[in-house]
Amino acid sequence: MSGDAKIIEVLKNAGLRPTKQRICVGRLLFMGKHQHVSADGLQLQIRELGQKMALATIYNCLHQFHKVGLLKKVNAVNDVIMFDTNLSYHHHFLNVDTGELTDISKEAISIAGLPSLPDGFEALSMELTIRVKPQI
């Protein structure tokens, strides 16, 4: 099966119509190793491939992919939203100088003594982001 055929299948299985833009973004996200991306970063990658796509279109693709469970959102530095292709439960180091995210396995973190949930709520997930910066 070709790369685009795989992306089209992923999109259709998620209930999304495989538009040209979604296939292009999906090709960058789902055909390699796990990665953390921003809309701006994807736009640069698309330009490097000699193509054009409006930033708003890229944001729409990313938010649609997130909505159907193909991506996770991670809040980064300065209100930038990063999208993570690794859907497994894990945590992150966040370099506050560069905005780079690095995965931390769930086994590397032990959390105890969590507060009681408010009445009428259930826990869906918990992810820890450790903000780091280089030592001076």
CATH number at residue 98: 3.30.1490
> In terms of domains, do 36 and 73 share one?
yes
> In terms of domains, do 67 and 100 share one?
no
Band of residue 20 on the pLDDT scale cut at 50, 70, 90: very high
> In terms of domains, do 23 and 58 share one?
yes
Distance CA 84, CA 38 (A): 9
Percentage of the residues of the chain whose pLDDT score is greater than 90: 65
> In terms of domains, do 18 and 62 share one?
yes
CATH number at residue 73: 1.10.10.10
DSSP 80: P
User: What is residue 4's predicted lDDT score, i.e. its pLDDT?
Assistant: 86
Q: How many CB atoms lie within 10 A of CB 57?
A: 18
Distance CA 5, CA 48 (A): 23
User: What is residue 79's predicted lDDT score, i.e. its pLDDT?
Assistant: 77
> In terms of domains, do 49 and 94 share one?
no
Q: How many domains does the chain have?
A: 2
User: CA distances (Å), 4 to each of 31, 56, 122, in order?
Assistant: 9, 23, 39
Is the per-residue pLDDT at 1 higher than 60? no
Across the range 84-110, mean pLDDT stands at: 90
Higher pLDDT, 47 or 123: 47
Query: Which structural domain, as residue segments, surrounds residue 115?
Result: 88-132
Across the range 46-70, mean pLDDT stands at: 96
Higher pLDDT, 124 or 19: 19
User: What is residue 68's predicted lDDT score, i.e. its pLDDT?
Assistant: 97
> In terms of domains, do 116 and 53 share one?
no
